[in-house]
Amino acid sequence: MTATEPVVIHAPEIPGDPCRVCAQSWPCFPAQIDYVAEFYGRPAELATHLAGWFTAAVTELTARGRSFDASALYRRYLGWVDLTRRPRSRGWR
Ligand SMILES: [Zn+2]
């Protein structure tokens, strides 16, 4: 990436929708990679952030009368957060 390239943020237009950039279910793989980099070692903060997105998605989908599997939605939004967890140290103890 050069300094002149615009930053592409993979996010839905409306919570619960697919990614507006790549049209994949959100959080799409590019969004997950961005979040892993941003929140590496801070899985609780990422979980809190994504829980807000999850809540907004449930609220929006419900308001629009769209049916959805809440468990599958939860797994999609929060099921991968452990990727940001640092590996446990195998120190000298
Ligand atoms: Zn995307």
> Could you tell me if residue 9 is inside a domain?
no
Question: pLDDT tens digits for 34-58?
Answer: 999 999 889 999 999 999 999 999 9
Overall residue count recorded for the chain in this entry: 93
How far, in Å, is the centroid of ligand 1 from the Cα of 89? 33
Q: What pLDDT, on a 0 to 100 scale, did the predictor assign at position 85?
A: 74
> What confidence score (pLDDT) does residue 92 get?
58
Residue 40 is assigned to a structural domain of this protein: yes
Q: Which pair of tokens denotes residue 35?
A: 């979040």
Ligand 1 center–CA 12 separation, angstroms = 8
pLDDT (0 to 100) of residue 66:
95
Give the integer Cα–Cα distance in Å for 71 and 41. Answer: 26
**How far, in Å, from the CA of 32 to the mean position of ligand 1?**
9
Asked if the structure places residue 2 within a domain, the reply is no
> Residue 68 has what pLDDT?
95
Residue at 66 is within a domain? yes
Tally of domains in the chain = 1
**Phi/psi class of residue 66: alpha, beta or left (left: φ > 0; alpha: ψ in -120 to 50)?**
beta
